[in-house]
Amino acid sequence: MHTVVVGTSGTSAADVLAVARGGARIELSGEAVAALSKARGIIDALAAKPEPVYGVSTGFGALASRHISPELRAQLQRNIVRSHAAGMGPRVEREVVRALMFLRLKTVCSGHTGVRPEVAQTMADVLNAGITPVVHEYGSLGCSGDLAPLSHCALTLMGEGDAEGPDGVVKPAAGLLAEHGIAPVELREKEGLALLNGTDGMLGMLIMALADLDTLYKSADVTAALSLEALLGTEKVLAPELHAIRPHPGQGASAANMLAVLKGSELTGHHQDGAPRVQDAYSVRCAPQVAGAGRDTMAHARLVAERELASSVDNPVVLPDGRVESNGNFHGAPVAYVLDFLAIAAADLGSIAERRTDRLLDKNRSHGLPPFLADDAGVDSGLMIAQYTQAALVSELKRLAVPASADSIPSSAMQEDHVSMGWSAARKLRTAVDNLARIIAVELYAATRAIELREGLTPAPASRAVIDAVRAAGVEGPGPDRFLAPDLAAADAFVRGGHLVTAVEPVTGPLQ
């Protein structure tokens, strides 16, 4: 099994995905253990002094003015975890919780939090055992960290609350830890606070969304090319020299991908009744511009994620010179903004895909295709309602594109009076990504059927490869009306699993 070694200088997106989705094992580096021990020594020294230090010998948030005596500090750390584990609503997905815990461990191992090495090791042990704390949908405002979600994770480390075992069964955490030989932690000064105070949940969801969107944007380039081909459009608008004079990198990549898919097609440029078309509709002609803008948005989001992966987000933090300073680095604004930006881009990509699908089904705009791609229009409805479903998904994407980060609601007696709502932005982006995959799947279903209905003209080799692969995956071709939901589900699984990309790349070479 793949092993991820956690050091002091952050981690990579690949490591987050390996732990969250691939079940990779985790080890702490010697460097990390040494940094943990050094920072803990600083915290212990401060804890022994009579002067109050925030997070070490005081209360938290609006209660920070109270000095806590030494005999109450262990109770204080337990209490912050228990009281902050106040989430509600449905359970959050296992992969999100694993990313959340791993990213918190990454910051703990930086040596800037003051957590003891044994606490960090317990975090690794819980992840390695496949134990997943029960975390709920609501409870984070994306400021002072993803407090409630991280608190539920810390509760499991203490042997309290509920968690899911590697078998998928939810049990009391104490029993799960005992089954795997893991001793619950006894938190000391600052440790409870350090386990709760980070942007780890929203960052983990950003990293996973970027991975999924990378596949979906390539898939959307393929389905756009298939639709162009089915509509007898022209590939001339994809010429590299046209995109070189507007040098947005994403636009050029999308155009190149579409051109690669269409190479060798006999359908492009053939117009109904020999009447030349001066221009294709925007949804066809401007596909690279729209998909390209989304790709460039992703590039910016990756830059933000990389910076956050290299960060140590906690409050207070232990600095290399021994100072322990309060700060505002836990504020989720940088991550929240790009999460919202990606939801906007996903909505627009879904919208343009739906417009191409509608064009394929409309006999007045499809250039000779049967109405709704039906076998016997009137007796058969064809893909009429498949497009309804796609339209409903697009409308939902538009609602999900409303920014969460434009909102703020004060909390903690006005101490935390401006929050990022980054967790909420991340949660809605996950839904948007799921719906985008379904929208692309409907376009794939319509475009492949439309190409097969163009009798007498040979599609591009890459298009033929897609049609063969999607039919082999259980998505049926043209014919009389049938129960469509299973076909659409199979198309969705085909897109979501990256099979659309792997179907064309043996012909086109790697897509950009």
337 is catalytic: no
Tell me how far CA of residue 341 lies from CA of 210, 251, 296, in angstroms. Answer: 12, 17, 11
- Cβ atoms within 10 Å, residue 482: 10
Distance of alpha carbon 349 from alpha carbon 400, whole angstroms: 13
* Angle, CA 260 vertex, CA 259 and CA 262 arms, to 5°: 65
Residues 230, 450 contacting (CB under 8 angstroms): yes
Give the 3-state secondary structure of residue 90. strand
Residues 312, 107 contacting (CB under 8 angstroms): yes
Amino acid, single-letter form, for residue 344: I
Distance of alpha carbon 402 from alpha carbon 377, whole angstroms: 39
Distance of alpha carbon 56 from alpha carbon 31, whole angstroms: 24
**Can you name the residues that pair with 171 across neighbouring β-strands?**
163
* Angle, CA 198 vertex, CA 322 and CA 433 arms, to 5°: 150
Run of H or E residues at 118: helix 117-128
Distance of alpha carbon 465 from alpha carbon 506, whole angstroms: 9
Residue 268: name the closest of 242, 222, 235 by CA. Answer: 235
Residues 195, 81 contacting (CB under 8 angstroms): yes
Run of H or E residues at 130: none
One-character DSSP codes across 267-323: STT--GGGPPPS---HHHHTHHHHHHHHHHHHHHHHHHHHHHHT----SSEE-TTS-
Distance of alpha carbon 512 from alpha carbon 507, whole angstroms: 14
HSE-CB of 186 using CA atoms within 13 angstroms: 2
Amino acid, single-letter form, for residue 359: R
Distance of alpha carbon 295 from alpha carbon 293, whole angstroms: 5
- Angle subtended by helix axes 200-230 and 287-309, to nearest 10: 160
Residues 243, 288 contacting (CB under 8 angstroms): yes
Indicate which residues carry an active-site annotation: 54
